[in-house]
Structure 1
Amino acid sequence: MKFTDGFWLTREGFDIQHPRTVRDVAISEEKVTLYAPCKEIQHRGDTLNLPSLTIELSSPMENVLKVKAWHHKGGVKKLPSFDVKAEAVSLQAERTENVTSFRSGDVKVEIAHNPFTITFYQGDLKLTDVDPKGIAWIKGPQKESYMRGQLNLGVGENVYGLGERFTPFVKNGQIVDVWNEDGGTSSEQSYKNIPFYISNRGYGVLVNHPEKVSFEVGSEAVSKTQFSVEGEQLEYYIIGGSTLKDVLTNYTELTGKPALPPAWSYGLWLTTSFTTEYNEETVNHFVDGMAERDIPLSVFHFDCFWMKEFEWCNFEWDKDAFPEPEAMLRRLKEKGLKICVWINPYIAEKSKLFDEAAEHGYLLKKANGDVWQWDLWQAGMGVVDFTNPKACEWYCSKLKALLDMGVDSFKTDFGERIPTNVVYYDGSDPNRMHNYYAYQYNKVVFDLLEKEKGKQEAVVFARSAAVGSQKFPVHWGGDCNATYESMAESLRGGLSLSLSGFGYWSHDIGGFENTASPDVFKRWTAFGLLSSHSRLHGSSSYRVPWLFDEEAVEVTKHFSKLKNQLMPYLFSTSVENHKTGVPVMRPMILEFADDPNTHVLDRQYMLGSSLLVAPIMNEDGVGSCYLPHGKWTHYLTKEVVEGGSWQKETYDYMSLPLFVRENSILAIGSVDSRPDYDFSNDVTFECYQFVDNKEASAFVTDINGVVKGEIKAVKEGNKISVETKMPDLSYTIVLNGVQTITSTSAGNVEQSSDGVRIQLNNSQAFEIIL
């Protein structure tokens, strides 16, 4: 929200008050409190008739600082609040005549008393600072109050994140209102609004407010990131780290680490699509058609019309289309498939559940006690009130019946346009609940899946999100169009979401709206199957590849099998995400922050730490990408390219820019027909362009994420020293695409025919002499 009229003037009707000096400082073991009047104090009379701001600094964990400021603190505490770590780190603050300072881990803060400023450091490196106008209380034209924060942007500083945003990847110059809405991928609106951003200067900022937060990112004041909320209080966190990865690790430690999705969820998902006509015969035609064409399929998803029209949600199969749902699900599962069904948190008036929910108070109400209803999605629908524990139990009982029937997962659609003119069971503030509703909705469903299926099996396919929703994977990008432009905007959204703490992201292969050309579909298929999760889905037409052309079948088969073979590498990356919060799909800046050329790249990404993917988004088949310095090996052709420049080449539909970073070891699986198998059995460690005196490593897990084997290698001149921990497992080592060693649990080693000499110390350590 804008409060000024250019640099010099205040907008008409607004009164901005900000600290002029720190009049007093209170220091305790856990916090530093500043008392800062909004006027220069020359004599005692100046202490009368003026506003004053109180600013409290503390640390809930090392390398994270909490800033809380208020004008008046006597307001009623409003619910809900984000689920963030609330512990306290001992600060040991020091005070001189004009400066108070303290550290939390490697993050240091210095507070100048007069004039008032706050400066944040990572070690000795300045991150950002708050100038005298950087914290302000503002009175609006209708006597409403706002609190505003500002953090200065350095020269060349870029801001990223703020949720899944389809606008430009670098957020500088943008106005962003953090307010969940169902706006598709072609607008400034977002399904997943996260009031957290990360800077290429090496820090993150979480504005700890569930209600609408208005960001002006280098826009109203071009040298500042500004955030404002309505009310009398403002709270935000400065999150440091030695690298951008560390910043995300600290952020997800504060707000929650992602769960580890089940291995089967990484395979290809196929849906009935949205408005298409279907029944069991059609479903079997699609499922069997994939098998006949040797396309691996992991999950079949039933979209909205598995329930009867006008009755969403009644959680009952439309008996006209699916007269024997239990038997149908059993038959599908006998084909090796997992089953997902679409749900949302709304109850249409025609649903048999509406009266039941209304009678028991399970739906949101108006102030007069009436059930809140509208017709925008389903005629006369109400919204489930997840602040009511009984409503949660009731909702879960309907889902449990589906799980008992054989359903494995839920697509938790919607949850964005939640009304604010309502009353919640627990008295929650409706403005604070608008975004937070997505968190509660998905938490209820995810918790049920964990309870009924086990932690290793729980996964949703969610569209809406709020802070902390990364704990409930996976999320997909919403309604995109069947064009290259929409493909690009979808990727921008996914990269922004990954820099907002989310580990997993998917999108509708081929676009949701309209029907893609065969060209777009085949290029999007390669992109989709090199994403963390992959789903064929559409609106008014089916997405089985043979409806596009026969080559689309070959493309889908090729990349589905490729992804399944990559599963040992992908799943170990997911285990890393589960532990550290570093996402599976990563913007280039996350891996190459020291290379400024990567700071604006939004049409390519790293899949894990070693694989670079650049989807082709043009009908000419031209793939272009920037390769940072070092040697890069094209994964499919094994061609080695020197980095530090842009690469441009024409690719057929069976390929795209897919490069392996130097000094990488990729764990490649022996199975291409499914994603869930024993990753450690007959695994191949593909080693790429070792760098002298720099260790390379990889590990493999079972499908529950337990580490089963590891490998480390160091090159020194013409000697590569290899150490493995692969008890009772057979494995193969491939060097730069050429097989050199085959080893079994007995320690047998075969010399290759290309002149490589093997010196074997034992079955766990050996050397390769080049």
Structure 2
Amino acid sequence: MMSNLHVSIKSTLSLLIFLFVAGLLYAVPTEVENSTHLITYHQSTDNLTLKTNEGFLRIQLMDEDGILYFSFASDSVFIAPSDAVSLKPATASIIIRNTTETLDVRMGNVYFKVAKNPFEIRISTGTDNRDEMVISGPFESPGGSGICLPLATREKIMGGGARALDINRRGRILQLSNQANYGYGWGADKLNYSLPLFYSSEKYLVFFDAPQRATADIGVSQREKFRLESPQKSFNFYAITGADYKNLLKKYTRLTGTQPLPPLWALGNLQSRFGYQSESELTQVVDSMIKAKYPLDAVFLDLYWFGQGEGDYRMGNLSWNEEQWPDPAAMIQNLKNKGIQTLLVTEPYFLTSSAHFKEAAEKGYFGQNQEGKPYVIEDFFFGKAALLDVFKPEASHWFWQKHQALIEQGVAGWWGDLGEPEKHPDSITYHKGLSQDVHNLYGHHWAKMLSERYRKHHPKVRLFNLVRAGYAGSQRYSVFPWSGDVARSWSGLKAQLPIMLTMSMSGLPYMHHDVGGFAGGEMDDELYTRWAQLGVFSPIYRPHGAGVPAEPIYYSSETQKIVREFIELRYRLIPYIYTLAYRQTAFGEPLVRPLIYEQSDDYLVDIYDTYYFGKNLLVAPVLEPGQTSRKVELPLGAWFHYYSGTFYLGGRTVEVPAPLNEIPVFVKAGSFIPTIPLQQSLNQLNTDQITITYYHHESVKQSKDELYLDCGKNAKALEEGAYQLFTFKAENTDKELYIDISHNNGVYLLRPGRRTIVLEINHWGGKPEQVKIDGKNAEFRYLPRNKQTQIEFTMGADPVNIRIR
């Protein structure tokens, strides 16, 4: 008995000592030696191939200005880049100096040094070529292969896609896998739209092109190491260096592309809910919204358009439920007459009981099991279902035909739901490979199918495709991602800022959210109001929810008044917002921007409750209940409070009022802000009168802005030059202000030949002595209370010069 007890105590002590030591090892990770070394190298006309003991690494130049493409293969059989990348490799001279310890390489204008043993690559960054991006590996592990990047002591890492986390992701292990997360709030680290794209505060960007599920270990297993690892034995990645975050994003959008112009109506009020169950219910809501004078541009129909809800979802039918929608074509036309577009939800899942399941199964259009039959997911939420093989051309064509029939009825756009895919077993076989290997590409290829068919069959129609998941480069296919089924809570509201800003810096410019929250919770007027205010200054404004009304007409009269005024503000700002959309398409600039985009100071990485809406507006949403003021980190420069006109000097933290009927919004001094009179919809944008407000401050000696206008519909507007681009310039001396307004005189459908321009000069020192337009004295109006000078004139094809003294 005593002997057994002694053994038991000894065993317990041994276990405790083991656990204690293991805990120390985990708390202070030890460095793992880099065992990779260079064996030999081969130089060709357009690439450099390095043979290491771990495998082969091929290096190519994508862009003369600092984009390197790396492809690793353990067996020298390199895999092709994914569809994320649209840029083709550049042709560049390669100069190599081979020393005992290194290869010193110049590839185009990019310099890097290859250390032979241990193997690592040091890429020169910055304008002085003194900073370095260091890549260790590639390495192989029992779970696959990857790369390793050393982390400096204070280095910050941003990226990884949509995460409800602080923007600095250092100290986390992130699963790079699209994953639905119902009712999430702050702290959710797995969401619908992951991206293997990361920025470093050391001013480099790495895109680990991993369509399969991969992992980013950012200083967890080893504190000073950032590991990107894939289950595959071959992978591609891209290294981009640059002077600042703005420059890095510009290069990344060259690599993966920008988003085509959206239809103009997409920037208006898009109303949705789960869900409108009949034509009569939808008509009643729309008419009530119009009667209450809410601007409105579109409605989304959830799965009730083809089914009847729980117990009878009919997912995969892809045709109207005629009991509840007796004449959809007439209904859609009636809505169009009111300036409202109709959009339909679709899913890639086909229930085994659905109308098209048998046909698609017989034709081999579903992902398959090991027996070559449709892989039926038994525990799918809506019932037993199979997933469409969106990678198979014949299946995509068949799926498109179902969309085409609805387009002919007048459907204006699509809502692609569940595209992670939400339920996705690893062993489904698709035309492109196993589900585990193409998981993150599923929604991307679905979007690609729609985009390519629109370009072929409706080449002048701008596609609107609301999606929940995709991949890097999906922006090229006109996707408008939203952040998934967020909780109706303050935690859910707070989560939207890092999601929206991180995705915007990842080339996905239209990431937005369900205004009001989607899941759980109760009607909360304050939460709904604050969420709507954030939504107005987001790329897309779309209320949506389940269980609780998503429409403002069901809230208190005070809430309705505040929300209506904010929606009206968005509609007046449409020329400004539309110009942001143009700048994104033409130059890759994001619509919403973290502070670090405009001011590349690393301490600003941690501030994301304040952001830029375009380059001229700064927005500080209210994210906590009961707040009537909040602190705002003002970037460098001169700023004016949008509502009060109060002047603030930037580069400091200020406390500003935030009553329920407003949020802190600031305008950068020197900005031109274009607005138009309020319209109820954007179907036919009326720009006969445009107000241009210039925010004057003596510290800004020169400034320049643009205004982009077109018909709002033509997908080839930029290609055909069917647009009007205004340029506003200001030059400020001690006693005089010169403002020049010109445009390219481009022609588009229904463009006014002449416009009434109301130029407002805010914060000019006092009443002007004189105003001249093109050298002639002009009348003006001075409002002393606002220190505003108003000048009205008619503008045709010729430039206009205004001189104020």
Same fold (TM over 0.5): yes
Mapping of residues 338-349 of structure 1, within 5 Å: 338-349=341-352
CA distance in 2, matches of 1:154, 1:253: 28
Please report the RMSD computed on the Cα atoms of aligned residues, expressed in angstroms: 2.9
Report how far residue 103 of structure 1 moved: 4.4
Q: 1:654 to 1:737 in 2, by over 3 A?
A: farther
Which residue, 672, 682, 694 being the options, matches 2:702?
694
Kept in 2, the 8 Å contact 1:624–1:647? The answer is yes
Aligned-partner Cα distance in 1 for 2:686–2:48:
51
Task: State whether residues 631 and 689 of structure 1, in contact with CA within 8 Å, keep that contact through their aligned partners in structure 2.
Answer: no
Residue in structure 1 matching 2:452, options 438, 447, 450: 447
Tell me the residue number matched to 2:404: 400
Pick one of 512, 516, 523 that aligns with 1:510. 516
Equivalent residue number for residue 654 of structure 1 = 661
Q: Give the equivalent residue in structure 1 for 2:731.
A: 714
Superposition pairs of residues 471-486 of structure 1, within 5 angstroms: 471=476, 472-486=478-492
Q: How many angstroms does 1:601 deviate by?
A: 1.1
The separation in 2 between residues aligned to 1:734 and 1:603, in whole angstroms, is: 30
Change in CA separation of 1:223 and 1:747 when aligned onto 2, cut-off 3 Å:
farther
Report if the CA contact (8 A) 1:362-1:385 is conserved. Answer: yes
Checking the alignment, whether the CA contact within 8 Å between 2:704 and 2:727 is kept in structure 1 is no
Shift of residue 517, structure 1, vs aligned partner: 0.5
Counterpart residue number, 2:9: none
The answer to whether the 8 Å contact 2:657/2:664 transfers is: no
Q: What amino acid sits opposite 1:584 in the alignment?
A: L
Tell whether 2:381 aligns with 1:377: yes
Q: Deviations over 1:11-57 (max 9, x none)?
A: xxxxx87324x343333332223333xxxxxxxxxxxxxx4543322
User: In the TM superposition, what whole-angstrom CA distance separates every residue of 1:337-389 from its partner, at most 9, and x where no partner exists?
Assistant: 01111111111112111111111111111011221112323211111111221
SS at match of 2:71: strand
Residue identity over aligned pairs, in percent, reads 23
Aligned residue in 1 for 2:61: 59
Task: Determine if contact 1:671/1:677 at 8 Å carries over to the other structure.
Answer: no
* Cross-structure match for 2:30: 8
Q: Aligned-pair distance for 1:204? A: 1.1
2:323 is matched with: 320
Match of 1:601 among 607, 610, 619: 607
- In the aligned structure 2, how far is the partner of 1:446 from the partner of 1:748? 53
1:60-459 matches, cutoff 5 A: 60-62=62-64, 63-74=66-77, 82-97=84-99, 98-103=101-106, 107-122=110-125, 123-130=127-134, 134-140=136-142, 146-184=144-182, 185-186=184-185, 187-271=188-272, 273-274=273-274, 278-308=277-307, 309-374=312-377, 375-416=379-420, 417=422, 419-424=424-429, 426-459=431-464
Could you say which residue in structure 2 is the equivalent of 1:764? 799
Change (3 A) 1:745 1:377: farther
Contact 1:732–1:742 (CA<8 Å) still a contact in 2?
A: no
Aligned length: 735
Gaps of 5+ in 1: 11-15, 37-50
Contact 1:81 1:210 in 2 (8 A): no
Q: Distance in 2 between matches of 1:403 and 1:469?
A: 22
Q: Say whether 1:31 aligns with 2:75.
A: no
Q: Report whether the alignment pairs 1:548 with 2:549.
A: no
TM-score, normalising length: structure 2: 0.85
Q: Secondary structure at the match of 2:466?
A: coil
Q: Secondary structure at the match of 1:712?
A: strand
The corresponding residue for 1:41 is none
- Cα 1:201–1:689 change in 2 (3 A) is farther
The structural deviation recorded for 1:452 is 4.6
The structural deviation recorded for 1:279 is: 2.0
Per the TM alignment, residue 127 of structure 1 is displaced from its structure 2 partner at its CA by 4.8
Contact 1:345–1:384, Cα closer than 8 Å, also in 2: yes
**Residue 564 of structure 1: how far off its partner (Å):** 1.0
**Larger CA deviation: 363-372 vs 426-435:** 426-435
Distance 1:397 1:681 in 2: 40
Letter in 2 for 1:402: L
Cα 1:152/1:462, change in 2 over 3 Å: same
Match of 1:40?
A: none
Give the Cα separation in 2 of the matches to 1:565 and 1:591.
25
Q: Which moved more, 1:159-168 or 1:356-365?
A: 159-168
TM-superposition CA deviations, 1:60-83 (whole Å, max 9, x none): 2221012233332358x5896544
**TM-score between both structures, scaled by the size of structure 1:** 0.89
Does the alignment pair 1:497 with 2:503?
yes
Alpha-carbon distance change, 264 to 402 in structure 1, aligned in 2, over 3 angstroms: same
CA distance in 1, matches of 2:458, 2:738: 44
Task: Quote how far apart the aligned CAs of 1:107 are.
Answer: 4.0
Are 1:683 and 2:705 counterparts? no
SS at match of 2:553: helix
CA shift digits 1:204-242 (9 cap, x unpaired) = 111122112210112222223210112323321111233
- What's the offset of the Cα at 1:402? 1.1
Shift of 1:136: 4.0
* Kept after mapping to 1: 8 A contact 2:203/2:245: yes
C-alpha displacement at 1:90, in angstroms? Answer: 0.6
Displacement after TM superposition at 1:445 (Å): 2.3
The answer for the alignment partner of 1:558 in structure 2 is: 565
Question: Given that residues 680 and 708 in structure 1 are in contact (C-alpha distance below 8 angstroms), is that contact kept between their aligned partners in structure 2?
Answer: no
Shift in alpha-carbon separation, 1:127–1:323, aligned structure 2, 3 A: farther
Displacement after TM superposition at 1:460 (Å)? 0.9
Q: Secondary structure at the match of 1:488?
A: helix
**Alpha-carbon separation, structure 2, partners of 1:423 and 1:523:** 43
Alpha-carbon separation, structure 1, partners of 2:802 and 2:152: 49
Contact conserved, 1:198 with 1:499, CA < 8 A, in 2? Answer: no
> Is 1:616 the equivalent of 2:618?
no
Q: Can you give the 5+ residue segments of structure 2 that lack an aligned partner in the other structure? A: 1-24, 746-753
Letter in 1 for 2:30: W
CA contact 1:587–1:605 (8 Å) conserved in 2: yes
Hey, what's the Cα distance between the residues in 1 that align with 2:583 and 2:296? 26
Name the counterpart of 1:625: 632
Q: Deviations over 1:241-263 (max 9, x none)?
A: 33322211221221222111111
What amino acid is aligned across from residue 214 of structure 1 in structure 2?
T
Shift of 1:291: 1.0
Structure 1 position 769, deviation (Å): 4.2
Distance 1:744 1:565 in 2: 26
- 1:733 matched to 2:759: yes
Distance 1:720 1:743 in 2: 11
Amino acid aligned to 1:470: Q
Structure 1 counterpart SS, 2:542? strand
**How far apart, in 1, do the equivalents of 2:299 and 2:83 lie?**
36
CA contact (8 A) 1:82 1:210 kept: no
